[in-house]
Structure 1
């Protein structure tokens, strides 16, 4: 079987809804709400349709499908510029050092400060892979295809890019971080707040969240322990982000305390190392494993393939060429599979 990444279509609503029901909560970018998903698809359709190259507030939704059967098995999203419709809030974990001359002691207190530092950055998010397909590197294909899309449309994205990882969620679907902090001010449980945010945005945080820094020593032990930790299912995603050059710089999600990873867009490894080439022929031979992409906007496609360099271009594996609908004379962008 060969899988490919393609642009989302209006007909993908049911696929998105079925996947959203499998996320298990804490997945703001893929809420199990048809109205919210329809709005995402409409916004994505508008982004794919706009041909102007300038940076704007847009969302691109991509789908993972079986190239042979058309069956959809995953999805991911790219936001071009966060914080334009609603403030993009994060907590920044910092330290306040104070010294008492009389006691001859220095006290260092950790604090969480509400911030919009990351406003204006691009974001990769909304990645979900069907549980039955979590083998064979398809999560890697979903994740890294986004960077090739960014490279193909570089003017549409900011100079900084971020990724929010889902934080620790307990067996009951609750968040220790939320229960220990924000839940005390909002009078609602984590699931309700998360769903409200997914549909209505962050403005209620601005309305109700205390603006003063929060001393972490005042939180419960379970809440403190969750700060900056990804959900166990997100550890592999965190390693992939680190391999791309993303780093955790003490920004955490305001709902579940999960880490927010950031990078300079042009320094993301898949963007930096990708190369453009012309396909000179297609065959069944071997070669180096790679992610290969072609097309712009709604015609963008990406798949795994094998390539061999020859004078004047590359020889592309037959299955990849079929999945991407390319042949001799077509141009592709590719980056090594690592």
Structure 2
């Protein structure tokens, strides 16, 4: 079974919707709402058709596909710029230190401040791998393909890259962080608010959320213990992000308290290390160097795992299977990075 990454198209709706229903909630970029998914796929179609090489509020959706079996088992997304049509809100965790001479004590209080600091950043998100394919490193292919796409279309993305991770929820889909904080200002459960946000955006946060800082000491232990922590199912995703150089800079999600990680775009490991090569041979002696390869632009973008053999300073030999997955021939230019 050989999978590749390619842009999603409207015919992929059924497969993507089935995966959305498996997320278990709290997955804003992949809501199990048919109308929203249709709109997102249409938006992605427009993004892949855009001619201008400039950063914009584009949403690029990709799928993990076995082209022989016509089987789709994963999806991921890249956003050109967040905070364009609606504000992009986060809580920033800061510390206020105060000294009392009379008591002879220093008090350090953590505060959560509603902020739009991350507006203008590009975002990677919406990564979901079907449970039947959790082994084998396919999640890594999904995750790193996004960085190769950014590298190939660098002018369409900003100088900072972020990723939001789903926060901790109980088995019923309730969020301790939401119940302790935002839920006190909205007459909605967390699943209701999260679903509303996925379909309608975050303007209701601006309308109803208090703008004053929140002292963390006023929150119950149930909320403090999950603040900045990813959902258990997202720990592997966090490790992959950290391996790419994204770090937690004390920004947390306003809904579930999950961590937001960031990095300068050009310092992301895959983007920094990927280099261009030329395919000089197909089907020759088998290669032994394990890499990721990406070829093509926009709608023609393809990414796959491969084993290659160097044939010169900037030349490589690939198998016929790899050539078929990438839909390329001899002379094609590819991006290559080790795996």
Q: TM bucket by the smaller chain?
A: over 0.9
Alignment of 1:20-59 (within 5 A): 20-59=20-59
| Contact residue 65 and residue 73 of structure 2 kept, 8 A | yes
Contact map agreement 1:293 1:334 (CA 8 A) in 2: yes
The answer as to whether partners of 2:230 and 2:259 remain within 8 angstroms in 1 is: yes
The SS at the match of 1:226 is coil
- Residues 93, 111 of structure 2: 8 Å contact kept: yes
Residue by residue over 1:164-213, the C-alpha shift from the partner in whole angstroms, topping out at 9 and shown as x without a partner, is 01110111111010011100110110000000000000000001111000
* Alignment RMSD: 0.9
- Counterpart for residue 316 of structure 1: 318
TM-score, scaled to structure 2: 0.98
What is the distance in 2 between the residues matched to 1:300 and 1:51? 15
Q: CA deviation at 1:327?
A: 2.2
Q: Which residue pairs with 2:291 in the alignment?
A: 290
CA contact (8 A) 1:183 1:190 kept: yes
CA distance in 1, matches of 2:24, 2:182: 21
2:255 corresponds in structure 1 to 255
Q: Using the TM superposition, give the Cα deviation of residue 316 of structure 1 relative to its aligned residue in structure 2, in angstroms.
A: 1.3
Asked if residue 267 in structure 1 is aligned to residue 260 in structure 2, the reply is no
Provide the rounded CA distance (Å) in 2 between the counterparts of 1:215 and 1:336: 45
Deviation string, structure 1 residues 107-147 (Cα, Å, up to 9, x no partner): 00011000000000000000011000001111000000000
Shift of residue 15, structure 1, vs aligned partner: 1.3
Q: Is the 8 A contact 1:147 1:271 kept in 2?
A: yes
Larger mean CA deviation between 286-295 and 153-162 belongs to 286-295
Find runs of 4+ consecutive structure 1 residues off by over 3 angstroms.
none
Of stretches 208-217 and 305-314 in structure 1, the one that deviates more from structure 2 is 305-314
Scaled by the length of structure 1, what TM-score is found?
0.98
Gaps of 5+ in 2: none
Contact 2:58/2:80 (CA < 8 Å) preserved in 1? yes
CA contact (8 A) 1:4 1:66 kept: yes
Which consecutive residues of structure 1, in runs of 5 or more, have no partner in the other structure?
none
The match for 2:336 is 334
Q: Output the CA distance in 1 between the equivalents of 2:305 and 2:320.
A: 11
2:203 counterpart residue number: 203
SS of 1:186's equivalent in the other structure is coil
**1:138 and 2:143 aligned:** no
Count of matched residue pairs: 337
Secondary structure of 2:225's counterpart equals: helix
